Structure 1
């Protein structure tokens, strides 16, 4: 919710000097004065090393006024809750479209419905209007929940933009105070080596270009015309964007733009149909374009060490050939459910995120050999039961989480040889078992599973016996009742049967 100190140092500092601001009572905290903010702490924060004038009350007061809208929005969002994940937003949009489609169909059926002969035209119109209003109200009621998800997502999106603008505003305020270093770097001219490469490409077909660590700040659009290029390494530079013209590299199989300053990838990257290896790690990405799902030849994808909040919803539906996926050191709260359809996936590294769990169908990744979800800390508290279906899993690292029990299916991981369970509040298996190694853990979990199955079978047998006993008593009662009925009928028939009366019995004595 709060701006990250490394990305927004000024804004984070000024917000830390504010009290908690309520959206309903923005000016109700008497001890706080916008013109005279509270004095700085005894130990100045690191930002004072670069901006010592922040300690000046007037500078801080000006900054406080400038970001008041950010503080109010932050307070409101703290009340409304965290941002919905990308998959929930996509699902909400889909549901709204589905409801609108159903509404159109219902209204069309209503308009075309025949008027009963006994109802006159005026009454029928009133009836249709009332029915239409009811249908629309029901649709709006159904849409309200999904709309609230989208509205919350939009508020968080707007808050993100507001935060960015506020940081820029604070920088300008500080500059005007005369305490900011104005030694800005000039945008460099095109690197001579880049010019040489472009000239060579005109005379002969280049297949590989390595511009690693050249301090490049931009890539000329002309690079998109090197049509024969197969491998392009732009890692370790200062690139802030990749030109759309990269779509012209139709034969490109390897693209490495790691360790740059990229904040986004162009949508045109989805046109690289032959791309097999893509490395965009170590940048400033907070989202991947949905078009990346069109790179269906991808075998390796590394998006680690960014600021990703989510992955494209259809990533797993489209990238069926992917074998290695690295998403560690991001801010992911969930993995899309579609990832379970990556049947070729062998390596999945998602450590150091904010994962709250793994998809329930994770067991469908039957070719997965390495799974690393360590260091999701307080967010990851359990593993799905389908984990035991990862029949080819060899290495599993779930250390530094909050898992207190392994799933009962764990013993089925027959190929597992490397296991790290450190720094978890594990109860099953206990620490003394964990210390004995992976085989001991498997045996313990197998015995635990067998005990559970035995207990379930015992309960099942008891239920069967109870049913049988109850059934025997019921059948016995039924048989006795039938027998009594038959005997009673026979006796009744015998005693009361109609026939000629014995005249001897009628004689007077």
Structure 2
């Protein structure tokens, strides 16, 4: 069986163009991943430059050896073999010869992995070289066709003359890509590339070390480069209205980020560690996506003041949302049939001024809701509300807060009365002891559930006792 070249998609494509009799075309899936990053591959001039870059002898030899070697060992098998060798060498009871003999079988697996690495290295290097040749060829092609935008040319000329450029606005120029020299303008602080036809952002953007504001909204981006995590001074990032399905994990390295707008995309999840890195983030707009859950780390965004998650598919809100104590604006509306409850911990957001829970399936809000004393705007429309009633909900935040306060007082009074009856029944004060014990139990339980994702099934805090959030607050 021939060696599978699809680990090197660009090389696979170019080799097929060079010699279709000996090299099969890459699969449709691979070709679809190539198209956004290399939109000019079909151009004869570009392909000619790429095929001329192929060292055929070197490639033929490497592929011949890799084919004869067969499949790579399973990564877990290699890891296990390395571990076994280490264990054998640590045995004091074995002589060096005995240890070598005992580890010989495992060493074979490791050696096979290393041989694969050695012969795949020229393929990997060539893949990178082809990418570089492609970028240079496209730039040359566009210049020769005079397709480079006049504003881009003016920017490049200004940079070449030594002018210090800190702010560039190329929005609405119908740009499909930018020349390689553009990414050498290392003094850039603000870059606006919105409303163009960009399908990818090259890794070279990492050269813009001073960049603080980046707007690539309203393009055709399907991904962001991992190198975006090297923009350590980035404060504002706008990627709204693209075709993104994920954000790179490396975005968590942009620790100075205060605003992130990734709305109007196709995001199905957020990076797992996003909250651990973006602890200075103040505004997060992720509405009109396909998000189902929040990553646990979102509770680490302690500077967050604005969170808009409307028009997603959110199934549950973690109890740990209560840690976002600086939050002033929260929009969880229009998650429709997916969002059925909100946890008690939401009432720990005591700085909240605006809350939109409309167009969901919420039947009751937490009994401790009256604690949101700064809440000015509340929207509970289009929910099957029972607590409070629809009539009360329509009267606004103050009316809902007052209703829930009275309800809380009634709950406490009924509980106290029940415990009093219990005390009289025992006649020895046991009931009051039980009352006090109940208070302590609720307090401890409240602290425990507020710390993590405890509460209800699916992390929505649905089975949390009504009083828990209140007692946690009293600590």
Q: Note if contact 1:386-1:409 (Cα within 8 Å) is conserved in structure 2.
A: no
Whole-angstrom distance in 2 between the partners of 1:453 and 1:336: 35
State how 1:45-56 maps to structure 2 within 5 Å: none
Q: Quote the Cα distance in structure 1 between the aligned partners of 2:430 and 2:221.
A: 74
Equivalent residues in 2 for 1:26-425, closer than 5 Å: 189-202=147-160, 203-425=162-384
- Give me the whole-angstrom Cα distance separating, in 1, the residues matched to 2:226 and 2:283: 22
For the 8 Å contact 1:326–1:350, the answer to whether it is kept is yes
Q: Distance in 2 between matches of 1:469 and 1:319?
A: 56
Q: Evaluate the alpha carbon distance shift between residue 462 and residue 317 of structure 1 in structure 2; reply closer, same or farther with a 3 A threshold.
A: farther
Change (3 A) 1:471 1:334: closer
3-state DSSP class of the match of 1:338? Answer: helix
1:421-440 correspondence to structure 2 within 5 Å: 421-440=380-399
CA gap 1:456/1:219 in 2 versus in 1, 3 angstroms: farther
Distance (Å, rounded) in 1 between the aligned partners of 2:359 and 2:368: 21
Q: Deviations over 1:364-400 (max 9, x none)?
A: 1111000001100000000010111101000001100
Q: Report the alpha carbon displacement of residue 460 of structure 1 after superposing the two structures with TM.
A: 3.3
1:173-209 deviations in whole A, cap 9, x for unaligned? Answer: xxxxxxxxxxxxxx99322321221121122110000
1:461 aligns with 2:420: yes
Secondary structure, counterpart of 2:168 in structure 1: strand
What's the TM-score, normalizing by structure 2? 0.59
Q: Are the counterparts in 1 of residues 229 and 254 from structure 2 also a CA contact under 8 Å?
A: yes
Query: What is the RMSD of the two structures over their aligned residues, measured on CA atoms?
Result: 2.8
Between the two structures, name the one with larger relative contact order (CA 8 Å, sep ≥ 6): 2
Q: Secondary structure at the match of 1:361?
A: helix
Structure 1 regions of 5+ residues with no counterpart? 1-65, 67-96, 115-186, 473-509
CA deviations over 1:49-101 (Å, ceiling 9, x no partner): xxxxxxxxxxxxxxxxx9xxxxxxxxxxxxxxxxxxxxxxxxxxxxxx9xx99
Question: Is there any run of 5+ residues in structure 2 with no aligned partner, and where?
Answer: 1-27, 29-75, 94-144, 432-475
What's the TM-score once normalised by structure 1's chain length? 0.55
Are the aligned partners of 1:220 and 1:243 in contact in 2 as well (CA < 8 Å)? no
Q: Deviations over 1:456-496 (max 9, x none)?
A: 22333344445554979xxxxxxxxxxxxxxxxxxxxxxxx
Change (3 A) 1:244 1:379: same
- Give the 3-state SS of the residue equivalent to 1:451 in structure 2: helix
Structure 2 CA distance, aligned partners of 1:223 and 1:381? 49
Residues of 1 paired with 2:173 and 2:429: CA distance?
85
Tell me the alpha carbon deviations over residues 286-343 of structure 1, each in whole angstroms, 9 at most, x when there is no partner.
Answer: 0000000000000000000000000011111110100000000000001112111111
**Cα distance in 1, alignment partners of residues 252 and 260 from structure 2:** 11
Q: Secondary structure of the equivalent of 2:399?
A: helix
* C-alpha distance 471-414 of structure 1, shift in aligned 2 (>3 A): closer
Q: For residues 231 and 254 of structure 1, what CA distance do their matches in structure 2 show? A: 5
Structure 1 SS opposite 2:319: coil
Q: Within 2, Cα distance between the matches of 1:242 and 1:471?
A: 70
